[in-house]
C-alpha cells in the first residue's frame, strides 16, 4: 500500500532562531487541520545549494529563504519568476513534482496586501510615495508600488549610490533625494515607507525629521520589532494612517502556504497572535 507523504516545509537562513515563520505556518496548519510540518533550518552559505537540492528528496514541498540567502538562491533554482528577477532576490521556493526548483518573491505582494488591509482607503495614485532605504527590502517595495500605480517615488538612502542603482533599474518614476534631505520628501508624500533597519530593537533610532509628514498620509514601517516604531508613533500623533510591518511578514507567507499545502490561509488576529507568540 502506498502512503501519501506528509508535506514538509521550512525557512532557511542564518541566524534563524528569531524567525516568526514557524509559529505562523504551524498555526495555519493546525487551524486548517492539515498534515504537515514547518521547521527553521540554520544553513551556512557554503551549504545552501546542497541543502536545497536535498530537501525535495526528503519530502519537502518548498521553503522560505531569508537573510543572507535571498540573492544566492536565484542561482540554485531552475526557474525564477519575473518579479523575483526584477527584485533580484527570492524568498519562496516551490519544489515541483517534475523535480524543478521554482523561486519566487512574495515580499512585494505581502507589502501591498498589508497596506490594503491596514489602510483600506489607501489609493496608490493619490500622490508620490517616499521610501527611506535602498536595501533588499526596498527593491521589493519599489517594484510593488510601481506595479500598483504609484505615480512617483522619492527615495533617500544613507549610501546614495544604492538609491541611484535602484533608479537605474526602475527608471524615471524614481527620484533620488539626499539622505540629509530625507525629511523634506515627506512633505509631498501620500505614502511613506521605512525600509531601513533603523528603529528596530538593537539598531539605532531613526533620526529623519518627521515634521513634514502630511495629515492623512499612509505611513508604514517594515520594522516590526517593536510593532510601534518611533516613525509610526509620530505619524499617528500627526494624524497619519499607520500600518505596522508585522502584516507584511504574514501576507508574504500566504501564497507560499497555499502552494505547498493547498489551502489559502487567513491573515487575521489569530495569525498575528501566533506570529508574536
Among 36, 245, 254, 274, binds ligand NAP (CB under 6 A): 245
Q: Which helix (H) or strand (E) element contains residue 37? A: strand 37-42
> Nearest distance from residue 196's CB to ligand NAP, in Å?
3
Query: Cell digits for 69?
Result: 540567502
Q: Is 197 annotated as a binding residue?
A: no
Nearer to ligand NAP, 91 or 240 (CB): 91
Q: Could you give the CA distance from residue 23 to residue 39 in angstroms, rounded to a whole number? A: 9
13 touching ligand NAP, by CB under 6 A: no
Of 171, 135, 178, 180, the residue nearest 153 (C-alpha): 171
Among 56, 133, 212, 265, binds ligand NAP (CB under 6 A): 133
For helices 160-170 and 136-147, angle between their N-to-C axes, nearest 10 degrees: 40
Cite the active site residues: 70
**Beta partners for residue 219, in sequence order:** 192, 242
Q: Could you give the CA distance from residue 256 to residue 55 in angstroms, rounded to a whole number? A: 16
> Nearest distance from residue 257's CB to ligand NAP, in Å?
15
**Binding map of ligand NAP across residues 171-210, x = CB under 6 A, - = no contact:** ------------------------xxxx-x---x------
223 touching ligand NAP, by CB under 6 A: yes
Only one residue has cell 537605474, namely 168
The sign one gets for the Cα dihedral 54, 94, 87, 183 is negative
Among 32, 158, 173, 233, binds ligand NAP (CB under 6 A): 158
Strands (E), 117-163: 129-132, 153-156
21 touching ligand NAP, by CB under 6 A: no
> Nearest distance from residue 97's CB to ligand NAP, in Å?
29
Q: Is 229 annotated as a binding residue?
A: no
Residues at the contact surface with ligand NAP, assessed by CB under 6 A: 107, 110, 133-138, 157-159, 162, 195-198, 200, 204, 222-224, 245, 248-249, 252
Amino acid at each position: 500500500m502506498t502512503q501519501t507523504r506528509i508535506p514538509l516545509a521550512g525557512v532557511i537562513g542564518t541566524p534563524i532562531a528569531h524567525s516568526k515563520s514557524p509559529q505562523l505556518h504551524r498555526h495555519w496548519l493546525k487551524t486548517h487541520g492539515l498534515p504537515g510540518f514547518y521547521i527553521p533550518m540554520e544553513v551556512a552559505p557554503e551549504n545552501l545549494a546542497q541543502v536545497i537540492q536535498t530537501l525535495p528528496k526528503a519530502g519537502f514541498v518548498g521553503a522560505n529563504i531569508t537573510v543572507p540567502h535571498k540573492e544566492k538562491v536565484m542561482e540554485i533554482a531552475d526557474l525564477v519568476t519575473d518579479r523575483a528577477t526584477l527584485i533580484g532576490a527570492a524568498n519562496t521556493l516551490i519544489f515541483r513534482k517534475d523535480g524543478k526548483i521554482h523561486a519566487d518573491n512574495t515580499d512585494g505582494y505581502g507589502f501591498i496586501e498589508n497596506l490594503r488591509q491596514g489602510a483600506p482607503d489607501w489609493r496608490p495614485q493619490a500622490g508620490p510615495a517616499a521610501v527611506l532605504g535602498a536595501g533588499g527590502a526596498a527593491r521589493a517595495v519599489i517594484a510593488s508600488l510601481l506595479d500598483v500605480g504609484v505615480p512617483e517615488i522619492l527615495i533617500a538612502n544613507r549610501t546614495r549610490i544604492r538609491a541611484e542603482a535602484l533608479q537605474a533599474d526602475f527608471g524615471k518614476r524614481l527620484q533620488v533625494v539626499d539622505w540629509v534631505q530625507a525629511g523634506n520628501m515627506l512633505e509631498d508624500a501620500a505614502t511613506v515607507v521605512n525600509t531601513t533597519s533603523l528603529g528596530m530593537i538593537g539598531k539605532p533610532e531613526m533620526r529623519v525629521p518627521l515634521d513634514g509628514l502630511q495629515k492623512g498620509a499612509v505611513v508604514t514601517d517594515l520594522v516590526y520589532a517593536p510593532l510601534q516604531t518611533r516613525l509610526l508613533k509620530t505619524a499617528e500623533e500627526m494624524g497619519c494612517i499607520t500600518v505596522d510591518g508585522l502584516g507584511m511578514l504574514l501576507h508574504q507567507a500566504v501564497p507560499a502556504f497555499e502552494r505547498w499545502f493547498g489551502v489559502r490561509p487567513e491573515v487575521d488576529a489569530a495569525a498575528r497572535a501566533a506570529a508574536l507568540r
